[in-house]
């Protein structure tokens, strides 16, 4: 990402920028956090800062795709020490949720393998379920776990959570407060995304929706830029399925404003 004048340097400035978007649109009342990128000394102070600017702190996103220990997996790792480290990170994210008033813990896993036979795919699914069970059990009564899926990248032979069906299978085994996150950029070319939206709403398992636009893969461009009619078809199913204005379906702009200015880019989105 190229830096631009005024790019936020810390979570306080990120929230101030997001508050500008909300001030002009009245459509962005919450700001998602990413741990550890948005760690601060006092989340009580950060929460007050957000409230003073007219927004609230929203979904907390975990990160198990940077640490060297997670090269061959995190919640699926065959080494119990590393897997426990990843579980403990999610426990820490839940602690942040308690301090910020956040409802949702969103998990995206950059886990899988690059070559046939490199890993035991079935055993990894079993370890993933066990890890998620431990994390789910730690949630507060009003908190939710939301599991995101992605077709590929950075694992190119198999990804542990590559599609909505795998995410659904994993969260359905956890309980009512475990949901699926759909990211519009996380599908194979030509995928009928509105069908997936319909099905997850029908099943009561669409917990959150990451909006962006793609030409090739996970481009994270301004939503609707590549195919405005696709966005229309998706939103038609959202409305028909009862997902619009539904507090149980969290909409998020998950975009990477690389060329355009960031606040106007979000406002346009």
Summarize pLDDT for 147-161 with one digit per residue, the tens. Answer: 999 999 899 999 999
- Domain membership of residue 203 (yes or no) is yes
Could you give the dihedral angle defined by the CA atoms of residues 93, 17, 209 and 105, in that order, rounded to the nearest 10 degrees?
Answer: 10
Whether residue 230 has pLDDT greater than 80: yes
Nearest-angstrom CA–CA distance, 195 and 198: 5
Reported confidence tier of residue 16, pLDDT bands at 50, 70, 90 = very high
The CATH number for 202's domain is: 3.20.20.150
Nearest-angstrom CA–CA distance, 167 and 160: 9
Taking CA atoms, 20 is separated from 161, 252, 264, in Å, by 35, 16, 10
- Domain membership of residue 6 (yes or no) is no
**Coil, strand, or helix at residue 194?**
helix
Q: The whole model's pTM is what?
A: 0.96
Q: What is the pLDDT of residues 104-130, one digit of tens each?
A: 999 999 999 999 999 999 999 999 999
Taking CA atoms, 256 is separated from 38, 72, 120, 166, 220, in Å, by 17, 26, 34, 26, 5
- Domain membership of residue 73 (yes or no) is yes
Taking CA atoms, 35 is separated from 9, 61, 64, 91, 230, in Å, by 15, 6, 10, 11, 32
- Domain membership of residue 3 (yes or no) is no
- Domain membership of residue 245 (yes or no) is yes
Q: What is the pLDDT of residue 7?
A: 87
Q: What is the pLDDT of residue 90?
A: 98
Please answer whether residues 235 and 201 qualify as being in contact, where contact means their C-beta atoms are separated by less than 8 angstroms: no
Q: What is the pLDDT of residue 1?
A: 64
How is residue 36 written in tokens? Answer: 């550890």
**Number of helices and strands in the chain (H, E):** 8, 9
Nearest-angstrom CA–CA distance, 191 and 20: 35
- Domain membership of residue 58 (yes or no) is yes
- Domain membership of residue 2 (yes or no) is no
Q: What is the pLDDT of residues 164-216, one digit of tens each?
A: 999 999 999 999 999 999 999 999 999 999 999 999 999 999 999 999 999 99
How many domains, the chain?
1
Percent of the chain with pLDDT over 90: 94
Whether residue 3 has pLDDT greater than 90: no
| Parent domain of 91 | 11-268
């Amino acid at each position: 990402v190229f830096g631009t004048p005024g790019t936020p340097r810390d979570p306080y400035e990120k929230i101030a920028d997001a508050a500008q978007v909300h001030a002009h649109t009245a459509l962005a009342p919450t700001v998602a956090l990413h741990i550890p990128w948005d760690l601060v000394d006092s989340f009580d102070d950060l929460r007050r800062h957000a409230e003073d600017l007219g927004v609230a702190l929203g979904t907390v996103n975990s990160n198990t795709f940077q640490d060297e220990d997670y090269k061959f997996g995190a919640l699926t790792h065959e080494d119990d020490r590393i897997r426990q480290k990843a579980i403990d990170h999610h426990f820490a994210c839940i602690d942040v949720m308690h301090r910020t008033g956040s409802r949702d813990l969103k998990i995206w896993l950059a886990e899988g393998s690059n070559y046939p036979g490199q890993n035991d795919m079935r055993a990894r699914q079993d370890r993933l379920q066990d890890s998620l069970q431990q994390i789910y059990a730690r949630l507060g009564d009003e908190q939710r776990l939301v599991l995101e899926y992605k077709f590929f990248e950075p694992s190119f032979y198999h990804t542990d959570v590559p599609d909505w069906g795998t995410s659904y299978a994993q969260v359905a085994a956890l309980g009512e407060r475990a949901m699926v996150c759909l990211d519009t950029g996380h599908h194979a070319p030509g995928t009928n995304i509105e069908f997936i939206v319909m099905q997850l709403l029908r099943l009561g398992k669409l917990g959150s929706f990451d909006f962006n636009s793609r030409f090739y893969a996970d481009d994270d461009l301004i939503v609707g830029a590549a195919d405005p009619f696709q966005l229309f078809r998706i939103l038609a199913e959202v409305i028909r399925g009862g997902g619009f204005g539904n507090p149980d379906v969290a909409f998020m702009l998950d975009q990477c404003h690389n060329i355009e200015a960031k606040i106007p880019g979000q406002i346009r989105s």
